[in-house]
Structure formats: structure tokens, C-alpha cells
Amino acid sequence: MIQINENFLNLKDNYLFSTIHQKVEEFKKENSNRKIISLGIGDVTQPLPSSITKAMEKACQEMSDITTFKGYGPEQGYEFLREEIQKEDYEKRGIYIDKDEIFISDGAKCDTANITELFDMNSKVAITDPVYPVYLDSNIIAGRKDINYLPCTKENNFVPELPKERCDIIYLCYPNNPTGTVLTKEQLKIWVDYAKENKSILLFDSAYERYITQEEIPHSIYEIEGAREVAIEFRSFSKTAGFTGVRCAYLVIPKELKGYTKQGKERFLHSLWKRRCSCKFNGVSYITQKGAEAVYTEEGQKQVQRNIQYYLENVSILKEGLQKLGYEIYGGINSPYIWLRVPNNKTSWEFFDELLTKANIVGTPGSGFGNAGEGYFRLTAFGQREEILEAMEKIKRMG
């Protein structure tokens, strides 16, 4: 008798965005004449910049020619892309990262889930609450039982407190998904110091760093002194360059970053991850990596920035519009996400239903991101401008 991994039974029946999708499909069936505006899942709507598609077309041509065809690429990613990342994303900000510390992958979602393979099953995990559901679900699937939730609500200005008991693995995501809030350098330093003191590891997801508008807010955990010894950073081309459908991301594991065996012997996480990639991954396609490389050209940077600016303007429209209507709004300054307080003591799912049925707008209930998200609601600004404006009108009419 083949036995299943029973940890799966400890998950919620559906992944958050699948539940939402299902509900919306049911609504559509009964209301086929209504136009639905999707401000739910954080998926981009602007097409890929032309400099990126041109680079990908050129790479396709190379693949069709026997003299330039490429088979398997390096598991860690092509050097041409890792060099650009090292130079443009880190060196230009005064951060030292070696190109060999960068691992190209097909998404930060997979990376933040797969990284848990590096750590012992009994490791204690700390996650902020509300949280991107992948962190929690992947640890549940792995069988980790000791999960500590760090509530982030308006009462603590969405700043997580240090865990009450010592934790091994700590997930931090800033700019935060879902709350759209950020941490300052001083606030992040507290976590770096904690991790150093406790020999813990910080898993820092900075998939939304390009949306930072305030000068003083750090883009990378490695802007904090000592972080190289305690942090892995995750980045993605999805929300930055429109790669949600193309798939390309990367993570950084500094070479000095250590974990320990049961006997207390040090092991470098970089070598373990490298070993894991060579065994389980054959790299991201050459065509995709050529597209990602084009992000760093002068034209690529201009075009990518234009799209980000577009989404940032969307978020301002939502933020200001909703504030005028009297909603309590968080986020939306350094992030494409608005985190709003659900009015009239309704639950997050009640507000979801109301917004869907009365205004035909899809958002994400805060409680789907964790218990501390109850009473909140997330809207994304990744929609097209006309839809954002239409959504605001509809919310206004909803009263």
C-alpha cells in the first residue's frame, strides 16, 4: 500500500488564490453579463518591454542555428545574467555580492518553498502574520510543526516583534506582501542581530524592491551590516519586469553563510544549495535568461521603470480614492499593494463577497494570508489604468 505524505492533510483544502479563482468562476457562471475587474492575485498586465522580447527573439534565432544552438545550461544560471545582477542590482547600491553567490531560477515562489530542504525537519520557523501563503504551506508539507506567527497589524504599525522563543528559520518579506508596508534599516538591523545571536537564518524576500519610492528604505537585506552571515535573499523578475508568465528569478546565498549539523559542525549553505540545484534543477531556459539580461540594458531599464511607474500611479489612484471615501488604508507607497481595513466590522470574506457581487471587483481577503489578516483586505495595482479608474467609480457607487 503506497502511503501518502500525510503532511498534505494539514494544509487548507485549497491554495488561497485557487479558492478565489473558484469563487470568481462560480460568480461568472451565474452572472455572465457582468464585467469582472481583477485586483486579486498580484499578476502584471503590462506587456513585456520590447527590448526584452527582442532579446528573446534573438535568442530563439540562435537556438535554430547549429552553430549557436544551446542544450543544457549551467544549473546556477548563465554567467552573463549573474554578472548583470551582481553589477546592477548590488554593486551599484554599494553592496558586495559575488556573481557565484547568485542562483538563477524559475521563480521566487519555488525558491522560497524549495529552500526549506536545506534545513532540519525540527527547525523552528517564524513567519509574519499575515504572510505570503507559500512560506507556511511549504513548511507544512515538509512536516514542520513548530511554526511561530508574528502578528503584523495596525496596532504594531505592521512591524513584527522578535519571536518569544528562539526560532531557526525566519521569513521576512519587504516591501511586504500582503500589507505593502516596509521596514527601515534600523528595524531590519534588529533581525540581523537576532539571527547572529541565535545562529538563525533570515529568508528575505525582496520581490517587490523595485516599488520602493522612499530613498531611505533598504532594497536589500545586505544593506544591513552583518547580513551576509545570516541571510538568503530572494528576488524576481516577475513584478519588476513583467515575467509572471515567462518565469525568472534568483536567490543569493553568501559564501560565508553557515548552518550546523546535529553535532554542531559548520556547513556552508552555498555548497549545499549548489549540490541541490545540480541534482534537482537543469536551469532556466537560455531564451528566458537572455530576456532577463535585457532588463539591465539602458533601454530595458527605461522601459521597465516606465511599467513600474504605471503601477505606482495606479496604486496612488487607489490609495487616494479610497482614502477620500473614508477607507483606512495602509501600504501603497513603496508597494503595488493596498491593505485596507474592512469597514463596518465585516469579515474579510464578507467584504470579498460584497465587493464581488455589488461592484464586480475581485480582491484578496486578508484572512487568507493568516489569522492576523482578518478584518483586512488586499487590492493590487497591477490592473490596467482604465480598470483601476472603473474600479474606483464602482466602489464609490457601492457606498
Site string for ligand MLT, 311-340 (x = CB under 6 A): ------------------------------
Sign of CA dihedral 68, 72, 74, 77: positive
What is the distance of C-alpha 91 from the center of its chain? 22
For position 109 contacting ligand MLT by CB under 6 A, the verdict is: yes
- Nearer Cβ to ligand MLT (42/366): 42
> What is the closest distance, in whole angstroms, from the C-beta atom of residue 332 to ligand MLT in the complex?
15
Phi, psi of 248, rounded to the nearest 5 degrees: -160, 135
Classified as helix, coil or strand, 230 is: coil
Residues from 11 through 50 that contact ligand MLT (CB under 6 A): 41-43
CA–CA dist 242, 265 (Å, integer): 42
* Residues 166, 92: Cα–Cα separation, whole Å: 35
Site string for ligand MLT, 171-200 (x = CB under 6 A): ------x-----------------------
Tell me the sheet residues that pair with 249. 105, 236
247 closest CA partner among 297, 201, 288, 198 = 288
Q: Based on CB atoms, which residue is closest to ligand MLT, 123 or 177?
A: 177
As measured in angstroms, the least distance from the Cβ of 176 to ligand MLT is 11
Task: Name the CA dihedral angle for 152, 158, 159, 164, rounded to a multiple of 10 degrees.
Answer: -20
**Minimum CB distance to ligand MLT smaller for 41 or for 159:** 41
For cell 469563487, the residue is 23
Provide the grid cell at 69.
544552438
In the complex with ligand MLT, the residue whose CB is nearer, 232 or 381, is: 381
For the chain, give the longest Cα–Cα distance: 66
CA 353 to chain centre: 26
Nearest-approach distance from CB 43 to ligand MLT, in angstroms = 6
H-run or E-run covering 258: strand 258-260
Q: Quote the least distance from Cβ 383 to ligand MLT, whole Å.
A: 13
> Which residue number has the CB closest to ligand MLT?
42
When the beta carbons of 109 and 270 are compared against ligand MLT, the nearer one is 109
Query: What's the CA gap between 274 and 286, in Å, rounded?
Result: 19
Number of residues that bind ligand MLT (CB under 6 A): 6
User: ∠199-201-206 over CA atoms, to 5°?
Assistant: 150
| Residues in 124-143 that interact with ligand MLT by CB under 6 A | 132
The smaller minimum CB distance to ligand MLT, of residues 132 and 352, is found at 132
C-beta of 394: minimal distance to ligand MLT in Å? 21
Would you say 24 or 190 has its CB closer to ligand MLT? 24
Binding to ligand MLT, residues 67-106 (CB under 6 A): none
| Closest distance to ligand MLT from the beta carbon of 114 (Å) | 14
CB of 58 to ligand MLT, least distance (A): 28
CB of 202 to ligand MLT, least distance (A): 20
Quick check: bond before 130 cis, omega within 30? yes
Q: Do 373 and 129 contact (CB within 8 A), yes or no?
A: yes
Which residues of this chain interact with ligand MLT, rule CB under 6 A?
41-43, 109, 132, 177
